[in-house]
Structure 1
Amino acid sequence: MSALEYRSFAEAWEARATIRTRPRRLVEDDQRLIYPLSRQPLVLGATFQRECPQLRDFVLVQSLYKFINDVVIFETEIVDRTARRIAKDRFAVRFPFACRYDAMTVVVDEDYHALVAMDFLQQTIALTGIEPIALPQEIELSRAIPTVLERVPEALRDALEMICVGIAENTLTDDVAAFARDDSVKSSVKGLMADHLLDEGRHSSFWARLTHIYWHTAPEEDRRTIANMLPLFLEQYLTSDIQQAFDCTLIDALPVSETVRQALREEAQGLAYPINHQHPLLGNILRFFRSSSMLESPCVQDALRDYLP
């Protein structure tokens, strides 16, 4: 796809964007879960089930708070920054107006998602009376993107940042989809995720198309430089350090004995996925590399050889 072939999704945004079409989601006071059990395996562990199953809802509420916190950081500090600079034509990679207009709709969507997430957090606090424990001040991307950007020439940093955001947006889409399909959680939570998914599907395609445009005009030397950064980015992006630190903070907040806490910590440490071709998010990431045409390049195939099936 060339820049001239790009077609804006402006009409689809006007007709379907959640900020245009969705009502406020109100959290229900019912018996359904506030957060899927499958997304917080701590509560499914043998020690938790044996020693403190009555604390399940506390752990799930705190896990929701972290998820919302992660969304706000991702949308407002990472995606917003990149999309806004593209929209305002302050990006090293130049795009036509249609791309820049769509980038501004991404800015609007992402800030709205953050607002809705913050509203839902406040509603949950009011309903449950459970205040958030200390939440992380960063997400994996907060580290991963700066780590790779400082290792490439300044002229390539915007392009690499755009690719990193594209990877993350495509990963998030399937992550939110799995959340939205879980029938064990409250309808408002499913609705919240379904709304988010409606916009993120559009965003994931947007970033893949912009990356496609850039990749087909980039010199081979620039492609190789960017490709060489992909393994480091994935290593940083797929780490479980922040989640494990949060789980430890959460375990420390539980009213249980130190012996039980230590057993819970040991079980939590064994929950991390290996960072290789078996990682559950890798399929989504490889899909982005295919849809953006990056995986057609030998330098990308070589850089990702340890992640390819």
Structure 2
Amino acid sequence: MNAAHYQSFADDWERRATIRTRPRRMLEDDDKLIFPLCRQPLVLSATFLKHCPQWRDFVLMQSFYKFINDVVIFETEIVDKTARSIAKNRFSLPFPLACRYDAMTVVVDEDYHALVALDFLQQAVEMTGIQPLDLPGQIELGRALPAAQAQVPVCLHDAVELIGVAIAENTVTHDVAAFSKDGSVKSSVRGLMADHLFDEGRHARFWTQLVRLYWQSASPQDRDHIAQALPVFLTHYLTNDLQKDFDLQLIEHLVISADARLALRDEIQALDFPITHQHPLVTNIMGFLHHSGVLQTPSVARALSDYLPVARKLA
């Protein structure tokens, strides 16, 4: 793998990584929200607003707990695993030492993000007395990666893992950015998101460079195999099934009438977010695949044609 054009961010990490530069953030006891309303459609539904608006803060708190839990799973069980394998030279794709050093800084950052997230969860429980419900043991990425890997030969499993993690790291950057700018949310929570974003922007560039390095060295046959796995990955990664399951569980813990409970269930079941080229996450993902050089491969463009704007399809 030719790393002549790889740009290490080691110096930038030393100067600016949040684990080196940020003090502990404390959750404030004010009237601001702990979780954005726009990210939890349950509390905005007509039935909820009519029959149980008094449960809003409980639902938002549990949604915050789920968000924290998802962050911990994402950081420690998936990104950490991939970055650590690269750093320790145990990945089937060999990367130069500069890449491996940067990968270890990603490990440090991600574990620190998980630690800070758990700190906020603990602070929230102590402040409100609201205990988390049973939280999901899996996130969408945890389902998407093995589903995509099953579409390719075993020798390409690590390559698919690399691209899938890179997609997720680029996606989460945009997601966290929106969270950090919501003025209705507690300042400390927005600060938490801003800190996370500060590191994730660096990570997104790191993973983009690694995918570009790999893709330049991959054989045409390997590229074509991976192209067929990408739509499978996106189908599992962009689903909202796990969120629906969580919201249905939440509804069961609300003290409301049977009719209101049934109506809430129906409203949640009816929620659907078509995954087209207009979906904001799809736009981000296609941007990443373009910048990393993957989308310029004809077999990839064909495999992902359903996610591309008409103008791109005809180009």
Deviations 1:2-27 (A, max 9, x none): 41221210010011101000111100
* Alpha-carbon distance between aligned partners in 2 of 1:176 and 1:126, rounded to the nearest angstrom: 25
3-state SS of 2:279 partner: coil
What is the aligned partner in structure 1 of residue 111 from structure 2?
111
Conserved in 1, the CA contact under 8 Å of 2:275 and 2:282? Answer: no
Deviations 1:27-67 (A, max 9, x none): 00000000000100111111111111111110100000000
Q: What are the equivalent positions in structure 2 for 1:78-97 lying under 5 Å apart?
A: 78-97=78-97
The one-letter code matched in structure 1 to 2:65 is: Y
Q: What are the equivalent positions in structure 2 for 1:229-240 lying under 5 Å apart?
A: 229-240=229-240
3-state SS of 1:28 partner: coil
Deviations 1:131-172 (A, max 9, x none): 011110100111110111123112111111000000000010
3-state SS of 2:236 partner: helix
1:246 aligns with 2:235: no
- The Cα shift of 1:271 comes to 2.4
Conserved in 1, the CA contact under 8 Å of 2:149 and 2:160? Answer: yes
The one-letter code matched in structure 1 to 2:5 is: E
3-state SS of 1:4 partner: coil
1:29 aligns with 2:29: yes
Deviations 1:220-273 (A, max 9, x none): 000000011000000011111110000000011111111111111111122231
* Alpha-carbon distance between aligned partners in 2 of 1:231 and 1:83, rounded to the nearest angstrom: 24
Which segments of 5 or more consecutive residues in structure 2 lack a partner in the other structure? 310-315
* Alpha-carbon distance between aligned partners in 1 of 2:205 and 2:188, rounded to the nearest angstrom: 26
* Alpha-carbon distance between aligned partners in 1 of 2:262 and 2:16, rounded to the nearest angstrom: 48
What is the aligned partner in structure 2 of residue 291 from structure 1?
291
* Aligned residues between the structures: 309
The one-letter code matched in structure 1 to 2:78 is: I
Conserved in 1, the CA contact under 8 Å of 2:151 and 2:228? Answer: no
1:202 aligns with 2:199: no
Conserved in 1, the CA contact under 8 Å of 2:84 and 2:107? Answer: yes
Q: What are the equivalent positions in structure 2 for 1:1-309 lying under 5 Å apart?
A: 2-309=2-309
Q: Which moved more, 1:48-57 or 1:270-279?
A: 270-279
3-state SS of 1:242 partner: helix
Report % sequence identity: 64
Deviations 1:160-194 (A, max 9, x none): 10000000000100000000000000000000000
* Alpha-carbon distance between aligned partners in 2 of 1:138 and 1:254, rounded to the nearest angstrom: 24
The one-letter code matched in structure 2 to 1:257 is: S
- The Cα shift of 1:98 comes to 0.5
The one-letter code matched in structure 1 to 2:133 is: I
- The Cα shift of 1:275 comes to 2.4
Which segments of 5 or more consecutive residues in structure 1 lack a partner in the other structure? none
Conserved in 1, the CA contact under 8 Å of 2:182 and 2:190? Answer: yes
* Alpha-carbon distance between aligned partners in 2 of 1:176 and 1:206, rounded to the nearest angstrom: 17
Q: Which moved more, 1:82-91 or 1:269-278?
A: 269-278
3-state SS of 1:30 partner: coil
* Alpha-carbon distance between aligned partners in 2 of 1:193 and 1:271, rounded to the nearest angstrom: 26
* Alpha-carbon distance between aligned partners in 2 of 1:269 and 1:3, rounded to the nearest angstrom: 48
3-state SS of 1:135 partner: coil
Q: CA RMSD in A?
A: 1.0
Conserved in 1, the CA contact under 8 Å of 2:3 and 2:213? Answer: yes
3-state SS of 2:262 partner: helix
The one-letter code matched in structure 1 to 2:141 is: L
3-state SS of 2:280 partner: coil
